[in-house]
Amino acid sequence: MVQPTTLGEFIVENQKDFPFATGDLSHLLTSIRLAAKVVNREINKAGLADILGAMGKDNVQGEAQQKLDVMANDTFMRALRSMGQCCGVASEEEEHYISFDDEIHQDAKYVVLMDPLDGSSNIDVNVSVGTIFSIYRRITPEGTPVTLEDFLQPGDAQVAAGYVVYGSSTMLVYTTGNGVNGFTLDPSIGVFCLSHPDMQIPKSGKIYSVNEGNYVHFPKGVKEYIKYCQQYDAASGRPYTSRYIGSLVSDFHRNLIKGGVYLYPTGTMAPNGKLRLLYECNPLAFIVEQAGGTATNGKQRILELEPSELHERVPFFIGSPEMVDMAHAFLRRYEEE
């Protein structure tokens, strides 16, 4: 039996693509790998431990913070601080960025932005959830404390991005700008093994993912696109299938493999959409473009957007390029309505 490539082997092998690599990014990815295994262990036994349910307080987003949200945030923070390659972290669970102010970390050249546990409202009902991360080189001089400027960079400046999906199996999918590769955790040996090399999203698909409970609040162009997906047309394989897990990482991962489009548009209930630009949309946009897909806010590439604050939200259209293009056509046709 051919020995599968482990994530650790792949990271080191992949480092050769960067002639000036010092190994710092490799070590940083290794600390994320470790944290993902720990979070996976805690999620898998969540029903048995007193770790389900809410903390009884809201996070900065005004969302009920789940106990596993806090566990995941603490686990990734600890792993990132334990290695010397990261000088600061921004997290969905933290109002402000966290600066690692000791000398070793201030000399580090990377910052990390993350949603430590996305889809946490699904946790207590055993539906898959995920972690999303984004890595940048700092802008401010090494040896000084990080500033907000280091975190408010456009998505095109990302050095690496990835997600972990804690599902029927646990997978880590990431890119450093040289394609997208997926690794499945083998629980018998506690190792992520290369299972999905060089992932490419199908140019089109038959799946659309949107919370149709918000339909009445959507712009007319989105409503008309949803109707388009639902209309019978044998030639284009419609009606499409509606699949919405309510966990962005899971909906994205399925569409990445099978083809499809995920929409979280503006609506009167969510004037800028719900998803956060810096640690949800940018990393997944980097991944989908590396896999041949498209990610926009309905008008512009997500990766071109200039962030203005840590937790800003944007409308999000991501997936197979031909499906996102069709959604755009409806948005343009009805944009005044």
Residue closer to ligand P6P, measured from CB, 186 or 312: 312
Residue closer to ligand P6P, measured from CB, 92 or 289: 92
Q: Least CB distance from residue 93 to ligand P6P, whole Å?
A: 12
Residue closer to ligand P6P, measured from CB, 76 or 110: 76
CA–CA separation, 251 and 39 (whole Å):
20
* Region for residue 156 given its phi and psi (left: phi exceeds 0; alpha: psi -120 to 50; beta: otherwise): alpha
Residue closer to ligand P6P, measured from CB, 91 or 176: 91
Q: Least CB distance from residue 144 to ligand P6P, whole Å?
A: 33
Q: Least CB distance from residue 107 to ligand P6P, whole Å?
A: 34
CA–CA separation, 50 and 264 (whole Å):
33
CA–CA separation, 109 and 21 (whole Å):
12
HEC letters along 125-192: HCCCEEEEEEEEECCCCCCCCCCHHHHCCCHHHCCEEEEEEECCCEEEEEECCCCEEEEEEECCCCEE
Residue closer to ligand P6P, measured from CB, 150 or 251: 251
Q: Least CB distance from residue 243 to ligand P6P, whole Å?
A: 12
Q: Least CB distance from residue 178 to ligand P6P, whole Å?
A: 27
Q: Least CB distance from residue 317 to ligand P6P, whole Å?
A: 13
For ligand P6P, the binding residues (CB under 6 A) are: 118-119, 121, 211, 246-248, 251, 274-275
Give the DSSP per-residue string, 98-120. Answer: EE--SHHHHT--EEEEEEEEETG
Q: At residue 202, what is the residue type?
A: P
Residue closer to ligand P6P, measured from CB, 7 or 245: 245
CA–CA separation, 230 and 227 (whole Å):
5
- Tokens coding 127: 């539906």
Residue closer to ligand P6P, measured from CB, 105 or 253: 253
Q: Least CB distance from residue 294 to ligand P6P, whole Å?
A: 18
Three-state SS at 273: strand
First-residue to last-residue Cα distance in the chain:
60
